[in-house]
Amino acid sequence: MRAFVINKYKEPLQEADVPEPVVGEHDVLVQVQAAGLNVVDEKIRSGAFKSFLRYELPQVMGSDVAGTVIRVGAQVRGFALGDQVYAQPRTDRIGTFAERIAVPEADLALKPATATLEEAGSLPLVALTAWQALVERGNVQPGQRVLIHGGSGGVGTVAIQLAKHLGATVATTVSAGNVDFVRELGADSVVDYRNQDFEQLLDGYDLVLDSVGGENLEKSLRVLRPGGKAISIVGPPDPAFAREAGLNPVLRLAMAALSSKIRRQAKKLGVTYEFLFMRASGDQLRKISALVDSGVLRPVVGRVFDFDQTAEAVQSQGKGGVRGKAVITRA
């Protein structure tokens, strides 16, 4: 089976002939027709996550999939041959840059009926991230104020639409060329991050969704109201994440040290900081499908690559410039 793998961290992806996926009794074998590109793909390739995401190399890459069911395990009850589905396989089951992948039934959902396979393939990781940040962690309520950084990117485009659906007033940061675009998605206030300082313009926010980190995250704490929350998807990891990930005591201490500065700053300001590492969930994807089909969420596919271009596509992830998501497709 054709696939794109990493043989060694920091090296480019390589095309390889790999064994067919093993289909367990609770697994669904999916013919891959679209696979979303994510920043996490480049992070894994570069070895940035190897302290807590340990893969046996060579590892087939890819974290989003949309395609057609071609086989089901003996205990699978929710899917049948021919179903068009989408998923973000759990972190130890990634490998969507391939012709086929076996996905745990619990991670899978029928794709939105109104979405193309390309659009469905763009959604799982970013839509689950937005859902878990805004609904699970943030508990966003009508009338609250939410700041979403990077509003024209993969997570940002979904998060703006979801926050508006939840009844929030939404601010976002983008480059000047994307101001009108994010307003069309529902943003109420838009800050041109290249020419404006959001800290000087915004105040009293209930929640910040950070996808930048560093100084941007520190400034985000200062635009929150007392009791507000900043959720970052780029780190630094916090002790709660280390516990949930089942890391050993040494790594738990290391994670606590990495986030100690930002947590101290948050405490001093009377706000909280949390790190979010998205988890797979077929149940949440079903809710997201309903929002897409009802017109609440519109997938944004900014660029499409052919399967043969997978290595080039992953390397392009660090360059930005794509509205929404880039997607790899297979005929």
pLDDT at 242: 82
DSSP string spanning 10-35? Answer: TSPPEEEE-PPPP--TTEEEEEEEEE
pLDDT at 38: 93
CATH of the domain at 23: 3.90.180.10
Three-class SS state of 39: helix
pLDDT at 316: 84
Is 286 inside any structural domain?
A: no
Containing structural domain, residue 139: 126-275
Do 262 and 133 sit in the same domain of this protein? yes
Cis bond upstream, residue 299 (ω within 30): no
Q: How far apart are the first and last CA of the chain?
A: 15
Decide: 34 and 330 in contact? Cβ < 8 Å: yes
Query: C-alpha distances in angstroms, 218 versus 68, 206, 233, 240, 286?
Result: 44, 15, 14, 19, 35
Residues 6+ apart with CB under 8 A from 106: 26, 280, 281, 282, 283
SS3 letters across 126-167: HHHHHHHHHHHHCCCCCCCEEEEECCCCHHHHHHHHHHHHCC
Do 130 and 270 sit in the same domain of this protein? yes
pLDDT at 28: 98
Do 189 and 201 sit in the same domain of this protein? yes
**Which candidate, 128, 179, 218, 205, places its Cα nearest to that of 323?**
179
Average pLDDT over residues 294-315: 95
Query: C-alpha distances in angstroms, 38 versus 65, 149, 187, 277?
Result: 12, 16, 23, 13
Average pLDDT, the chain: 95
Is 294 inside any structural domain?
A: no
Do 260 and 174 sit in the same domain of this protein? yes
The predicted-structure confidence for 29-68, as pLDDT tens digits, reads as follows 999 999 999 988 988 998 888 877 889 999 999 999 999 9
Helix (H) or strand (E) holding 305: strand 301-306
DSSP tag of 7: S
Count up the domains in the chain and report the number. 2
What would the two tokens of residue 73 be? 């395990």
DSSP string spanning 162-201? Answer: HHHHTT-EEEEEE-GGGHHHHHHHT-SEEEETTT--HHHH
Do 143 and 223 sit in the same domain of this protein? yes
The predicted-structure confidence for 75-120, as pLDDT tens digits, reads as follows 999 999 999 999 999 999 999 999 999 999 999 999 999 999 999 9
pLDDT at 235: 82
Do 93 and 139 sit in the same domain of this protein? no
Is 293 inside any structural domain?
A: no
Do 114 and 203 sit in the same domain of this protein? no
Do 320 and 240 sit in the same domain of this protein? no
* Global pTM value: 0.96
The predicted-structure confidence for 176-227, as pLDDT tens digits, reads as follows 999 999 999 999 999 999 999 999 999 999 999 999 999 999 999 999 999 9
Helix (H) or strand (E) holding 216: helix 214-221
Is 281 inside any structural domain?
A: no
Is 109 inside any structural domain?
A: yes
Is 285 inside any structural domain?
A: no
**pLDDT score of 319 more than 80:** no
Do 54 and 103 sit in the same domain of this protein? yes
CATH of the domain at 253: 3.40.50.720
Q: Which amino acid is at 121?
A: G
The two beta strands, 2-6 and 59-60, are antiparallel
